[in-house]
Amino acid sequence: MTADSAAGSLARLAAERVDHRFKGLPPDADGLTVGELAAQRRNLFTGGFATPVLALSAERLEHNLRLMETYADRHGLAFAPHGKTSMAPQLFQRQIEHGAWGITLAVPHQVRVARAFGTRRVFLANELVDAAALRWVSAGLDADPEFRFVCYVDSVRGVELMDAALGGARRPLDVVVELAAGEGARTGVRTEAECAAVADAVAGTRSLRLVGVAGYEGEVPKADPERVTAWLRRLVALAADFDKAGRFTDADEIVVSAGGSAWFDAVADVFAEIPELSRPVLKLLRSGAYVSHDDGHYRKLTPFNRVPEEGALEPAFRLWTQVVSRPTAEQAFVNAGKRDAAYDLDLPFAQVIRRDGAERPATGVSVTALSDQHAWLSTTPEADLEVGDWVGLGLSHPCTSFDKWPLIPVAEADGTVVDYIRTFF
């Protein structure tokens, strides 16, 4: 796909009609295109938006994009942020414009979305053994010389299935051996000897090409700086051992990849220790939750808390809800629940209250539970909360926020909506 056709695919998102499919948007916007609605620059609070409505902060989103671009450059890292966090091609493009090497994904559907909108480099952080998906990827590689695709292998059986599906492919499929993060971790090869066996299996095929090693340090059992660093050094040593054994003779560069959103400082430190190898090394970081960050899980774990001189990510999501019931002085309910808010790691956080155009901290208000369409609020005597008030909630774990909202307003600090982000889950 050319740059022009990719831009055309993204532009077509602006031509989509606004209607009942998109939660929270103004009812009187039905029939407008997304582009026409964006051009109106409506205000999130006075422009007819209906609660609940999820919004991204325009300023914080841009800050996070710039910060991670600077971080990767400073540490000599290539960057392929995990796109499963947002599944938003507009954000993929902005990440690439901010220096990303490509996009990391997890399953074939996500790759199809990325390719439909022009993403040229994809790192699939998973072993791909589905024959139909493999043939589709192979056809894409054959048709587009600029398409780069890399995926995990973590078993001899997987290698056999991949090779069987790819028989006759003109371009080999690039693969990296996934080193497991330890016993009891998720996927990946458990020992270095087994990694070598998988690499040998790859070498015995004509359809696969071994280009590196990879893994996910976030799965290290009882993760702490020492355990994560030790595992990352195992990964680097595996790459060096493979190189010494001549396993990368067909590769143009050696890929060494890791990096979730909790330990990318350790990744940067250990990848700086990678010795000189026989080919250039692509040190590929894959952290993805940074794009929106959050008010819970990652805010507590971000490496920028450990190394504050590197900067700080900013939570960019806020879910605006409305008080629909105030049955007692100690309790209230707002009109957003499990269908609207991430809740897999932490409950939402009551942050601000809006009434008559004025905004103040949500003092004395906390979320204690979620029903399907309600959040349960506990209120202390100092809470000033009435039916009809808007309550802004901070969210934990962006990976399960984007998937609930197919079209997300991007709002400036004064509430002016300047864009809409389309998601594909």
Query: What are the residues facing 78 on neighbouring strands?
Result: 284
Q: Tokens for 4, please give them.
A: 């022009």
Among residues 298, 295, 367, the alpha carbon closest in space to that of 338 is found at 367
Using alpha carbons, list the distances in angstroms from residue 299 to 117, 293, 295, 304, 417.
Answer: 30, 7, 6, 9, 25
**425 residues of the chain, pLDDT tens digit each:** 555 567 788 999 999 999 999 999 999 999 999 999 999 999 999 999 999 999 999 999 999 999 999 999 999 999 999 999 999 999 999 999 999 999 999 999 999 999 999 999 999 999 999 999 999 999 999 999 999 999 999 999 999 999 999 997 999 999 999 999 998 899 999 999 999 999 999 999 999 999 999 999 999 999 999 999 999 999 999 999 999 999 999 999 999 999 999 999 999 999 999 999 999 999 999 999 999 998 887 777 788 889 999 999 999 999 999 999 999 999 999 999 999 999 988 999 999 999 999 999 999 999 999 999 999 999 999 999 999 999 999 999 888 899 999 999 999 999 999 999 999 99
| Domain residue spans of the chain | 6-57+313-422, 120-286
Which of 2.40.37.20, 1.25.40.10, 3.20.20.150, 3.20.20.70 is the CATH number of 6-57+313-422? 2.40.37.20
**CATH for the stretch 120-286:** 3.20.20.10
For residue 176, with 0-12 CB atoms within 10 Å meaning exposed, 13-18 middle and 19 or more buried, which class applies? buried
Q: Using CA atoms, how far apart are residues 158 and 129, in angstroms rounded to an integer?
A: 6
